[in-house]
Amino acid sequence: MTHADPGSFRDPLSRVYLDDDQVLRGLSPKGLADYEQAAAAPFFTELQAEGLLVRTELLPAGSHPLHDTWAGVLRHERLPVVTYPYEWTFEMLRDAALVQLEVTRRAVHAGLSSKDATSFNVTFRGNRPTFLDIGSFEPIPRGEPWSGYGQFCRMFLNPLVIQAATDVHLQPLVRGSLDGISAADTAALVPLRKRLRRGLAVHVGLQARAERRYADREGDIRQDMGRAGFNPKIVLAQLDNLEKSVRALRWRAQRSEWSDYSDRAHYGDDDLATKERVVADAVAALPEPFVVDLGANDGRFSLLAVEHGARLVLAPDVDHLVADRLYRHLRSTGEERILPLVVNLADPAGPMGWRSMERRSFRDRVRPDLVLCLAVVHHLALTNTVPLEEIVDFLADFDAPVVVEFPHRDDVMVERLLSRKRAGLFDHYDLGPWERALEGRFTVDETVRLPSGTRTLYRCRPRTTT
């Protein structure tokens, strides 16, 4: 059944639809003409071949019911999962920004441009950023500046500037406003000397003044800039300058709460070997599964999953630095099947935007074939005070087989967490209550106690409901 994507309604010239496993886009007559001009240019095919542009085909006229409403219908490749900017690490947002600039630059060389530059126009295929919004291309308006400039700064540049200059993480800021971060707010957070040192006087300082000047005169700024005589060469120079600014930004963080977690010695060699065997068997039992590795940390088990046949592993972790390190490591080694994310499992992104439907929740977007939940339950239960039954319900929400690890009360990490709590407050955290909760929602196929005796692994399947 065909239904409109609730996050695609702002472009009057096109609309995205979901039809079972198909992703379709309806185009108005003007939208179809713009698409045909873009698709006829070499850059369009080249970007698709390089993985920088979502693969797309124009359906024959009259071949789909959407042709009754739209002049043209496109079919896009369907990616396993769509992630959002407030789930990306610093380097991921930086790479996505460079893709937006590269796509726009090549379009300009072909006599076209991108009419907007929201970071939601980019997502990741594996861990490679890919531009999605085919409807964004349009002929270059004569004498006008790049219309996506301000949005690019709000959605890409400003969050990167703030994190690079102040070490304030970008995810809560980007999640707080789907329209991005204004130049005025960026200027207020980033001292002038840091802006000047990074060559951002124009993109932050002048933009902030322009925002104040034109706050009550919508549209005047484009007219004034148009009278300045913009042409493709000036737009290309602007894109080059933005690229230089983005490439110069670096996040210098060295250490975080969990950045050295993989070096801790609370697992013995036999424990790790047993844990790896259980995970490997679970992955290998499924045909090329899409795996979610909750609390992936340094990606040890995500890498194990791809070694045993996973086609894609989503690797969310609460720690930004850990996820960023993993992303940089994967890009340096060429391993593209693992996608790190910054996600607080106790507070994942919910539905947002217009009618609370424009951006879907993490749970609704992620439909895996297998879930790994290793060294996570005790943190949710003891640090975040989530009841064991609620943790089990959370795992059941994925509607997929699960490998879950439960650290016992005598586990060194559990003892450390309990030592910070009031005596008696967490007496319910124990093996018996956990197993009763688990068996209420899952069929347990295998139970494996690690050789140390302080942790147990469970391979289980969600119970069918009637």
Model confidence at 261, pLDDT cuts 50, 70, 90, reads low
Average pLDDT over residues 134-145: 88
CA–CA separation, 421 vs 417, rounded Å? 7
pLDDT at 464: 77
Among candidates 377, 397, 393, which has minimal Cα distance to 437? 393
pLDDT at 169: 93
Domain boundaries, the chain: 2-76, 85-248, 261-462
Residue 314 pLDDT > 60, yes or no? yes
* Percent of the chain predicted with pLDDT > 90: 77
Residue 218 pLDDT > 70, yes or no? no
CA–CA separation, 28 vs 73, rounded Å? 9
Looking at domain 261-462, its CATH superfamily turns out to be: Vaccinia Virus protein VP39 (3.40.50.150)
Pick from 1-5, 45-49, 202-206 the range whose average pLDDT is largest.
45-49
Residue 263 pLDDT > 50, yes or no? no
155-181 pLDDT, tens digit each: 999 999 999 999 999 999 999 999 999
CA–CA separation, 35 vs 148, rounded Å? 18
Please tell me the least confidently modeled range out of 180-184, 263-267, 424-428.
263-267
Residue 25 pLDDT > 60, yes or no? yes
Average pLDDT, the chain: 90
Average pLDDT over residues 394-414: 96
Residue 258 pLDDT > 70, yes or no? no
Helices 42-49, 90-109: axis angle to 10 degrees equals 150
pLDDT at 300: 96
Average pLDDT over residues 337-346: 97
CA–CA separation, 206 vs 214, rounded Å? 12
Residue 267 pLDDT > 90, yes or no? no
pLDDT at 187: 86
Model confidence at 196, pLDDT cuts 50, 70, 90, reads low
Q: Tell me if 137 sits within 8 A of 112, measured CB to CB.
A: yes
pLDDT at 200: 72
Residue 229 pLDDT > 90, yes or no? no
CA–CA separation, 11 vs 385, rounded Å? 43
pLDDT at 423: 83
Model confidence at 370, pLDDT cuts 50, 70, 90, reads very high
